[in-house]
Structure 1
């Protein structure tokens, strides 16, 4: 067995699972598309169209959560620009992703995830804070907490 091999039957000799490899390819494609769009006046509209198309491809449940998050981000942090981030919905300021959604169904994971990049302003004076959250049929209280976190992260 090679030193990079794992017990995961989906992992190849380089250590990446099929889902990880697909995410890397998606990210490379996103970067190429963004480079082409830098000169386009319709970049923001095209990026949002790509994001909405990706949400539409998600399995039921994940799609509804992603749509709800898209709505929350739009109302709480309208300055964040929708864009794909490793093939999943992300929201950026000045080209840097602040927060993102990962579809558990598309990632073949147990649950979906809502997370924050290091660009998010969530630093805690204790030096300890979460950077992602599992989402599985969130309650209204959870959606309100997510809205508060987005607001804090973009302050």
Structure 2
């Protein structure tokens, strides 16, 4: 429910606080130390999930590692995310984060998914199947370039 004073729900405010904490914890870190800290945070975010959310996030993590190792794991608003040059390309927004019916695999502006005048940037995932994994693999490979 949105707060009438700020317009943000409790979950949205918590996500913003989480993002501020992500920035604080990596402040001053550079190079390999920063990458290691961000990988650790990403894995911890995945490990904190359960059920379908954990299965989708773990599958996405494995796929990115296999087909787009040039993307760096990190968290972004608490979501397991993968970035190129510090900019998020792909992320998983768990259903549990905002108490929604399904989690989504989302792609940000730096994803190379452009296809004419219109293309999808978010995909609802309710179950990991071989077909879902194949589609995610293709999307991640394309998005990473």
TM bucket (normalised to shorter chain) is over 0.9
95-104 vs 136-145, greater mean Cα deviation: 136-145
Structure with more contact order per residue of length (Cα contacts < 8 Å, sep ≥ 6): 2
Task: Count residues with an aligned counterpart.
Answer: 144
CA distance in structure 1 between the aligned counterparts of 2:36 and 2:12, rounded to whole angstroms:
28
- Higher helix content, 1 or 2: 2
Deviation at 1:121, TM superposition (A): 0.7
Question: 1:29-82 CA deviation, whole Å, 9 max, x = no partner?
Answer: 1122222323x6422111111111111111222111111110001001000000
CA distance in structure 1 between the aligned counterparts of 2:51 and 2:40, rounded to whole angstroms:
19
Give the equivalent residue in structure 2 for 1:6: none
Is 1:20 aligned to 2:22, yes or no?
A: no
Give the equivalent residue in structure 2 for 1:139: 129
CA RMSD, Structure 1 to Structure 2 (Å): 1.2
TM-score between the two structures when normalised by the length of structure 2: 0.94
Task: Flag as ranges the 4+ runs of structure 1 deviating above 4 A.
Answer: none
Residue 90 of structure 1 aligns to a residue whose secondary structure is strand
Larger Rg computed on CA atoms:
1
Question: Residue 29 of structure 2 is aligned with which of 37, 60, 79?
Answer: 37
Give the equivalent residue in structure 2 for 1:130: 120
Gaps of 5+ in 2: none
